[in-house]
Protein backbone atom coordinates (compact mmCIF):
# COMPACT_ATOMS: atom_id res chain seq x y z
CA UNK A 1 0.00 0.00 0.00
CA UNK A 2 1.17 3.52 -0.70
CA UNK A 3 2.45 5.65 2.15
CA UNK A 4 -0.84 7.56 2.21
CA UNK A 5 -2.82 6.68 5.34
CA UNK A 6 -6.47 5.75 4.81
CA UNK A 7 -8.30 6.79 7.95
CA UNK A 8 -11.11 4.73 9.31
CA UNK A 9 -14.55 6.16 8.82
CA UNK A 10 -17.54 5.93 11.16
CA UNK A 11 -21.02 7.02 10.14
CA UNK A 12 -24.19 6.90 12.25
CA UNK A 13 -27.68 6.26 10.95
CA UNK A 14 -31.15 6.69 12.51
CA UNK A 15 -32.14 3.07 11.84
CA UNK A 16 -34.91 3.88 9.38
CA UNK A 17 -35.38 1.92 6.13
CA UNK A 18 -33.54 4.58 4.10
CA UNK A 19 -30.56 4.10 6.43
CA UNK A 20 -29.72 0.93 4.47
CA UNK A 21 -29.12 3.03 1.35
CA UNK A 22 -27.20 5.58 3.41
CA UNK A 23 -24.91 2.88 4.78
CA UNK A 24 -24.25 1.52 1.30
CA UNK A 25 -23.45 5.01 0.01
CA UNK A 26 -21.12 5.66 2.96
CA UNK A 27 -19.34 2.37 2.23
CA UNK A 28 -19.04 3.24 -1.45
CA UNK A 29 -17.56 6.64 -0.57
CA UNK A 30 -14.97 4.96 1.68
CA UNK A 31 -14.09 2.45 -1.05
CA UNK A 32 -13.65 5.26 -3.61
CA UNK A 33 -11.09 6.93 -1.35
CA UNK A 34 -9.39 3.60 -0.69
CA UNK A 35 -9.29 2.66 -4.39
CA UNK A 36 -7.51 5.91 -5.24
CA UNK A 37 -4.63 4.83 -3.00
CA UNK A 38 -4.84 1.06 -3.35
CA UNK A 39 -7.12 -0.51 -5.99
CA UNK A 40 -8.92 -3.73 -5.09
CA UNK A 41 -7.19 -6.98 -5.96
CA UNK A 42 -10.26 -8.13 -7.88
CA UNK A 43 -13.42 -6.28 -9.01
CA UNK A 44 -15.67 -8.58 -7.00
CA UNK A 45 -14.04 -7.42 -3.74
CA UNK A 46 -15.66 -4.00 -4.16
CA UNK A 47 -19.10 -5.51 -4.81
CA UNK A 48 -18.79 -8.05 -1.99
CA UNK A 49 -18.06 -5.30 0.53
CA UNK A 50 -21.06 -3.26 -0.62
CA UNK A 51 -23.31 -6.33 -0.45
CA UNK A 52 -22.14 -7.22 3.05
CA UNK A 53 -22.62 -3.64 4.30
CA UNK A 54 -26.11 -3.59 2.78
CA UNK A 55 -27.03 -6.88 4.48
CA UNK A 56 -25.62 -5.77 7.85
CA UNK A 57 -27.52 -2.48 7.67
CA UNK A 58 -30.75 -4.20 6.60
CA UNK A 59 -30.45 -6.63 9.52
CA UNK A 60 -29.87 -3.73 11.92
CA UNK A 61 -32.96 -1.91 10.66
CA UNK A 62 -35.09 -5.06 10.83
CA UNK A 63 -33.94 -6.56 14.13
CA UNK A 64 -32.41 -3.76 16.22
CA UNK A 65 -34.60 -0.73 16.80
CA UNK A 66 -32.94 2.66 16.80
CA UNK A 67 -29.65 4.04 15.62
CA UNK A 68 -26.74 2.03 14.28
CA UNK A 69 -23.22 2.96 13.28
CA UNK A 70 -20.96 1.70 10.52
CA UNK A 71 -17.16 1.81 10.82
CA UNK A 72 -14.85 0.89 7.97
CA UNK A 73 -11.08 0.72 8.02
CA UNK A 74 -8.29 -0.62 5.88
CA UNK A 75 -6.38 -3.61 7.17
CA UNK A 76 -3.12 -5.09 5.90
CA UNK A 77 -4.87 -7.21 3.27
CA UNK A 78 -8.49 -6.15 3.32
CA UNK A 79 -11.26 -4.10 4.85
CA UNK A 80 -12.61 -4.40 8.39
CA UNK A 81 -16.28 -3.45 8.71
CA UNK A 82 -17.95 -3.02 12.10
CA UNK A 83 -21.65 -2.41 12.50
CA UNK A 84 -22.89 -1.50 15.97
CA UNK A 85 -26.61 -1.80 16.65
CA UNK A 86 -28.92 -1.69 19.67
CA UNK A 87 -29.79 -5.40 19.93
CA UNK A 88 -27.37 -7.53 22.01
CA UNK A 89 -28.76 -10.78 20.54
CA UNK A 90 -26.29 -12.35 18.09
CA UNK A 91 -27.56 -12.87 14.53
CA UNK A 92 -28.62 -16.39 13.66
CA UNK A 93 -29.21 -18.03 10.30
CA UNK A 94 -32.84 -18.46 9.33
CA UNK A 95 -34.17 -20.98 6.82
CA UNK A 96 -34.84 -19.69 3.32
CA UNK A 97 -38.47 -20.04 2.20
CA UNK A 98 -38.86 -18.84 -1.40
CA UNK A 99 -42.59 -19.69 -1.54
CA UNK A 100 -43.38 -17.34 1.34
CA UNK A 101 -41.42 -14.32 0.13
CA UNK A 102 -37.85 -15.43 0.72
CA UNK A 103 -35.76 -13.97 3.49
CA UNK A 104 -33.13 -15.74 5.49
CA UNK A 105 -30.23 -15.37 3.05
CA UNK A 106 -28.47 -12.27 4.45
CA UNK A 107 -26.57 -13.88 7.31
CA UNK A 108 -25.59 -16.80 5.04
CA UNK A 109 -24.22 -14.32 2.47
CA UNK A 110 -22.24 -12.50 5.14
CA UNK A 111 -20.74 -15.76 6.43
CA UNK A 112 -19.86 -16.86 2.89
CA UNK A 113 -18.32 -13.63 1.59
CA UNK A 114 -16.29 -12.65 4.65
CA UNK A 115 -12.96 -14.11 5.67
CA UNK A 116 -13.83 -13.64 9.35
CA UNK A 117 -17.06 -12.81 11.17
CA UNK A 118 -17.43 -12.17 14.88
CA UNK A 119 -20.16 -10.79 17.08
CA UNK A 120 -19.33 -8.98 20.31
CA UNK A 121 -22.30 -8.39 22.63
CA UNK A 122 -22.13 -5.03 24.41
CA UNK A 123 -24.16 -3.52 27.20
CA UNK A 124 -26.00 -1.29 24.71
CA UNK A 125 -26.23 -3.71 21.77
CA UNK A 126 -23.62 -5.58 19.76
CA UNK A 127 -20.75 -5.09 17.35
CA UNK A 128 -20.66 -7.27 14.25
CA UNK A 129 -17.10 -7.40 12.88
CA UNK A 130 -16.41 -8.69 9.40
CA UNK A 131 -13.18 -8.87 7.42
CA UNK A 132 -13.23 -8.92 3.64
CA UNK A 133 -10.43 -9.11 1.09
CA UNK A 134 -9.40 -6.04 -0.85
Q: Domain for residue 1, yes or no?
A: no
String of b and e for 4-39 (b: at least 16 CB within 10 Å)? eebeeeebebebeeebbebbbebbeebbeebeeeee
List the domain range (segments joined by +) for residue 120.
9-133
Q: Domain for residue 46, yes or no?
A: yes
Q: Domain for residue 72, yes or no?
A: yes
Q: Domain for residue 60, yes or no?
A: yes
For residues 32 and 50, is the Cβ–Cβ distance under 8 A?
Answer: no
When pLDDT is averaged across residues 65-75 and rounded to a whole number, the result is 96
When pLDDT is averaged across residues 97-103 and rounded to a whole number, the result is 72
Question: Whole-number mean pLDDT of the chain?
Answer: 93
Domain tally, the chain: 1
- The verdict on pTM exceeding 0.85 is yes
Q: Domain for residue 30, yes or no?
A: yes
The CATH number of whichever domain residue 120 belongs to comes to: 3.30.565.10
Residue-wise pLDDT for 10-48, tens only, equals 999 999 999 999 999 999 999 999 999 999 999 999 999
Q: Domain for residue 3, yes or no?
A: no
Q: Which has the closest alpha carbon to 19: 51, 46, 74, 59?
A: 59
When pLDDT is averaged across residues 86-101 and rounded to a whole number, the result is 84
Q: Domain for residue 14, yes or no?
A: yes
Q: Domain for residue 87, yes or no?
A: yes
Amino acid sequence: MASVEIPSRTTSFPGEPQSVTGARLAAEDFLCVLADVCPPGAPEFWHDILLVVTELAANAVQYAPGEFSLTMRRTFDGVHVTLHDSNPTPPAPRPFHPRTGGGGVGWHLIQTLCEQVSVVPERDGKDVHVFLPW
